[in-house]
Amino acid sequence: MAGQFRSYIWDPILIASQIILMQFVYYSCLGLWLAALDLVIHYNPSLDQIFNDVILGFSSVHGRVSMMAFILNSLSFAVGLLYFVRRGKQCLDFTVTVHMFHLFFCWIYTSHLPSTLTWWLLNVVCIALMAVIGEYLCMRTELNEIPLNSAPKSNV
C-alpha cells in the first residue's frame, strides 16, 4: 500500500450518491436542452421526447430536435463527469450506468423495450461521446502538475 499514489477504498455510499447525482444531471440537462430547442421550433415539450423511442427519428422535426438534444446532453454530461466523478477510469462506468437506468425508465414508461434502431444507435453514440469526452476532460485535470513547494517562501 505504501507505493500507491491514491488509496482505493470501496465506498458504496459514495458510489450510490454519485450514481443518483449523475442521473439527476443527465435528466436535468436533457430537460433543459429539450426545453430550449422546443422553444426554438415552437413545440410543447413532453416526456415522450425523453422516454418514448418512437419519437426519435429523422422523419419529423420533433424527432430530429429530440436527437439533437440527446447529443448536446452528451456534452453537458461529460462536463458533469468532470465536476462530480473526477476520475477518468470511472467515466465509462458512470456513463453506462446512467444509460442502463435510462433504458429501464424507458421500459417502464412505454411498457416495452425500445425497439427502434434509431433509439439504440443514438444511445450508443451518446455513450461513446460522453465517455470519451468525459475521460478526456478528467485526464486533463488528473495530469496537471502537482505543486511540490506549497509552503510560502520566506525571504529571511
| E-assigned strand segments in the chain | none
Residue 52, all three cell numbers: 418514448
> Is 56 part of a structural domain of the chain?
yes
* Domains identified in the chain, total number: 1
Contact 53, 111 (CB under 8 A): no
> Is 82 part of a structural domain of the chain?
yes
> Is 154 part of a structural domain of the chain?
no
Report pTM: 0.83
> Is 151 part of a structural domain of the chain?
no
> Is 28 part of a structural domain of the chain?
yes
Question: What's the pLDDT tens digit per position in 28-83?
Answer: 999 999 999 999 998 888 898 999 999 898 888 888 999 999 999 999 999 998 88
Contact 10, 61 (CB under 8 A): no
> Is 156 part of a structural domain of the chain?
no
